Amino acid sequence: MKSRRMFTSVIGMVALALAATGCGGGGGGAAAEYPQKRIDYVLPFDAGGESDITARLQQEKLSEILGQTVNVSYKPGGGGALGWSELTRTAPDGYTIMGSNLPHIILQPMLRGDAGYTTEDLKQVYIFQSTPNVLLVPADSDIQTLDDFIAAAEENPGAISVGGSGDFTANHIGTLMLSDMAGIDLTYTPFSGTGTAVPALLGGHVDALMSYTPQISQLGDQVRAIAVATEERMESFPDVPTFAEQGYDLVDGAYRGVSVPKETPDEIVQTLADAFQEVNEDPELIKAFEEQGFVLENYGPDEAAALTEERTAVYEDLLTRLGMVP
Amino acid sequence: MFEALGQGLLANLAPSMLLLVLIGTLSGMALGAMPGLSATMGVALLVPFTFAMDPTPGLVLLGAFYMGAIYGGAFTAILVNAPGTPSSIATALDGYPLTRQGRSEYAIVGATMGSFVGGIIGVVALIFLAPPLASFSLRFGPQEYFWVAMFGLTIIASLASGSLLKGLIGGLIGLLIATIGIAPVGGDVRFTFGDPMLQGGVPLVPALIGLFTVPEVIRLIALRTRDAQMADDNGKKAGLFGMVKDILGRPVNLLRSSLIGTAVGILPGAGGSVANLVAYNEAKRASKHPETFGKGEIDGVIASESANNGTVGGGFIPTLTLGVPGTPPDAIILGVLLLHGLRPGAELFETSGTLVYTFILALAVSAIMMVPVGLIAGRGLQRGVMALPVRYLAPSITVLSIIGAYAIRSSVFDVFIMLALGIVAYLLQRVGIGGAAIVLGLVLGSIAETGLVQGILTSSGADMPWTTFFTRPISLILIAMCLISAVWPMVQKRRARKNLPEAAPAVAADRAEND
């Protein structure tokens, strides 16, 4: 461990030196020399959540690759909307990058009327991680399988309460998608983040939790995971069945990436995207992601835009049918 | 467990570890003393520095820093009426009046000893009672959080023993401000007047600075004499030893407030900002002379500070046993644990027992270190502030306030919120509506709203969901506590009148009316 740290810090210093000499050389366009100063990596959420843990895992590697300090800070409020609306008013110079989540940046502008930004205002640089939805019940619940859960919901329409992290989040839309596919009536209760939703499940105040996969390992034997919203079973959780294999084609979750203002020059976006891609190839980060229950994703700027478009269509269709789009 | 506890104790006695705890405590205190720089933010800023360390010293440093930051909030609350963190709101209520009487040193000593006792009691609960307390905390659902918030609001009755009506008006203003922004449940956008910055609501820390500190700055500026200084009679009455003895001679208050702090800290979603207010209220209720509260009563300072440092140990109970952060800084420390591959739960105490107990005991060591550090550095700071003429002091506080309001979200908008609320608060004070009731409404409004709506949603299986607010056992206990708390100040007042028929009825706890 020690020698590796030494090694990485040497690499960091070499990178810094290279960057310094690069600056000294002069000439070239402004974008070609990017980055020349500290980069602010802003999270529009409180510290301590999944986005924060991810950023902390990336921070050191990013600094090494970009040759500049990367500083993580927080601008929470409005489920992320406050930060994203401010990003649209930030200088498009690549020195402020902000964590951005799907489906949040799709659903807030779609459902909130005036969210202070539109999905297209944000230029997604890279999507590097996702946490699929997982349906959890307390370990002592009678519900053993997804079929049990759906049967219970059919028996008592509207009486089964499902907690989740906030409004217009992946947990929220996942609950709506499940209700829609199974033709059941669930009551979704939003909590302010996963942190307050979990005790509501453990204390039996909600019947189930639509949450993210890291909670499976974090909560251990206090909960039972009855279905995960991935295409195939996850390697980290081979015993947890998917929704699909239990008859419901639900594949969804929160995708985490970074965005910059849409006017940012393409070269800068590419430099950043390459850096995040390189971070994602680091074996240590890959191992840490796996331990956390995160799924590694590699969506460059174009792929991220395509994914966003595809998800937007799915959500718009569902929410229009539910009468939720204003 | 005891083996790991012993190893943890040994690890803490190593000089390098003691030095680390000292550095953590000191830097935490310094940061906590800056208005606006909250413990949460400080801990988040410190995290990258701990990456270069092994897990144990990294966590120890974070823990000591957290403990110190909660304590540091007391300094500015006492000296310049600027609660450095939301955990020190109630400290300002009596700490600043003490300063104005020239007894700031006494208040600092009270805060220090209170923080020490609170910190230790929280840690003791964490070591010996974590599993049962954590499982009890899970029985608090949305309904119970609603009643906890209601209980908090009854404090208005005791804060405003002068005029209940004015107190209620203040509380309502606070509740109204709390409705600005995106609804905590349902996500509707409310009262933003088209400004996206208001989607996040009125942030608590800039509001605190605005409501408490700005009116005082205006008052200081309005002082006539150019070389006016804050009064300082210290040293004339009792020496340091006498003051410490006096504070420790109030064991019931120290113990009660520490236990309240520990208990509230265990509840995720309440935390230090609620604990200090509840403890203050209980100290006032238990007091033989409640009319002195709000006018410079040392018991108020002790209660608030014991409680907020009690939340440190209490908050780690659900964090370490369930993986549910008890307070916002706990969320960050939980993140660090996870980054090191340490999963909270009963297993953590077995597989990494030495690390866990080293960390827990470091919190206790930090609490112990606060005593000499606080009594030396804290009193030094106090002398410095007191020696400063008002013409330097007022602009210094203003600058600190602006930095504090800006820092929390790096937002100029928050500075304007602070200044606007400050001017409003100054005007309201002149008609006898104090800032404390407004802050109560603001802090508790969203907790109450969230509990109410979530309670109705989660019990949608019942015929009449709202009845669940009156049928759950813990809810019933909380309702009884609300009733007692609301009625008690009136009983107290009547009793005081009966005992002292010749004395004037207790007037105006509002400081503005004493001006």
- Domains of chain A from N-terminus onward: 2-130+255-321 (3.40.190.150), 132-246 (3.40.190.10)
Q: What is the nearest CA distance from B342 to chain A, expressed in angstroms?
A: 10
Task: Sort out which chain B residues have CB atoms less than 8 A from A59's CB and list them.
Answer: 48
Ranges of residues in chain A with a pLDDT under 50 are 1-30
CB contact under 8 A, A48 and B325: yes
In angstroms, the Cα distances linking B95 to A164, B106, B368, B512 are 41, 9, 22, 15
Please tell me the predicted confidence (pLDDT) of residue B225. Answer: 66
How far, rounded to the nearest angstrom, does the alpha carbon of residue B316 sit from its chain's CA centroid? 16
Q: In whole angstroms, what is the distance from residue B95 CA to residue B99 CA?
A: 6
A84 phi and psi angles, rounded to 5 deg: -65, -35
Asked if the C-beta of A138 comes within 8 angstroms of chain B's C-beta atoms, the answer is no
Q: In whole angstroms, what is the distance from residue B344 CA to residue A222 CA?
A: 12
Q: In whole angstroms, what is the distance from residue B317 CA to residue B298 CA?
A: 30
Residues 109 to 138 of B: which have CB under 8 A from any A CB?
A: 137-138
Please tell me the predicted confidence (pLDDT) of residue B504. Answer: 44
Nearest in space to B66 (alpha carbons), one of B270, B308, B259, B341: B308
DSSP state letters, A122-170? EEEEEEEEEEEEEEEEETT-S--SHHHHHHHHHHSTTT-EEEEESTTSH
**Residue in chain B nearest A202 by alpha carbon:** B138
Strand partners, A39: A70
| Residue A261 DSSP SS3 | strand
Task: Sort out which chain A residues have CB atoms less than 8 A from B38's CB and list them.
Answer: none
Q: In whole angstroms, what is the distance from residue B24 CA to residue B19 CA?
A: 9
Mutation choice for B interface testing from A107, A160, A196 by most B CBs within 10 A: A196
Residue with tokens 């509260």: B293
Element (H, E) at B354: helix B353-373
Nearest in space to B205 (alpha carbons), one of B317, B96, B83: B83
Burial of residue B41, with CB atoms counted within 10 A of its CB: 0-12 exposed, 13-18 middle, 19 or more buried: buried
Mutation choice for B interface testing from A41, A57, A155, A202 by most B CBs within 10 A: A202
**Residue in chain A nearest B319 by alpha carbon:** A195
Element (H, E) at A296: strand A295-299
DSSP state letters, B187-243? --EES-TT-GGGGG-S-HHHHHIIIIIHHHHHHHHH-S-TT-B----TTSS--HHHH
Q: In whole angstroms, what is the distance from residue B342 CA to residue B491 CA?
A: 52
Please tell me the predicted confidence (pLDDT) of residue A79. Answer: 87
Element (H, E) at B266: helix B251-266
Residues 137 to 166 of B: which have CB under 8 A from any A CB?
A: 137-142
Asked if the C-beta of A199 comes within 8 angstroms of chain B's C-beta atoms, the answer is yes
Q: What is the nearest CA distance from B123 to chain A, expressed in angstroms?
A: 22
Number of neighbours of residue B429 by Cβ within 10 angstroms:
22
Nearest in space to B308 (alpha carbons), one of B116, B133, B96, B88: B88
Query: Is the CB of residue A212 less than 8 Å from the CB of residue A50?
Result: yes
DSSP state letters, A187-242? EEEEESSHHHHHHHHHTTSSSEEEEETHHHHHHGGGEEEEEE-SSS--TT-TTSPB
Task: Sort out which chain A residues have CB atoms less than 8 A from B340's CB and list them.
Answer: none
Asked if the C-beta of A12 comes within 8 angstroms of chain B's C-beta atoms, the answer is no
Q: In whole angstroms, what is the distance from residue B336 CA to residue B333 CA?
A: 5
Nearest to A53 among B138, B269, B338 (CB): B338
CB contact under 8 A, A81 and B140: no
Asked if the C-beta of A157 comes within 8 angstroms of chain B's C-beta atoms, the answer is no
Asked if the C-beta of B203 comes within 8 angstroms of chain A's C-beta atoms, the answer is yes
| Residue B10 DSSP SS3 | helix
How would you classify residue A247: left for phi > 0, otherwise alpha for psi between -120 and 50, otherwise beta? left
Residues 424 to 453 of B: which have CB under 8 A from any A CB?
A: 450
CB contact under 8 A, A167 and B318: no
Asked if the C-beta of B81 comes within 8 angstroms of chain A's C-beta atoms, the answer is no
Asked if the C-beta of B324 comes within 8 angstroms of chain A's C-beta atoms, the answer is yes
Nearest to B461 among A60, A159, A291 (CB): A159
Element (H, E) at A98: strand A96-102
pLDDT tens track for B149-179 = 999 898 887 776 568 899 999 999 999 999 9
What are the CB-based long-range contacts (under 8 Å, 24+) for B2-8? B3/B353, B4/B349, B4/B353, B4/B354, B4/B356, B4/B357, B5/B127, B5/B357, B5/B361, B7/B353, B7/B354, B7/B357, B7/B358, B8/B353, B8/B354, B8/B356, B8/B357, B8/B358, B8/B359, B8/B360, B8/B361
Residues 258 to 277 of A: which have CB under 8 A from any B CB?
A: none
**Residue in chain A nearest B184 by alpha carbon:** A192
Ranges of residues in chain B with a pLDDT under 70 are 84, 160-162, 224-238, 269, 500-515
Asked if the C-beta of B186 comes within 8 angstroms of chain A's C-beta atoms, the answer is yes
Please tell me the predicted confidence (pLDDT) of residue B51. Answer: 78
Structure tokens at B46: 């410190």
Asked if the C-beta of B251 comes within 8 angstroms of chain A's C-beta atoms, the answer is no
Q: What is the nearest CA distance from A117 to chain B, expressed in angstroms?
A: 9
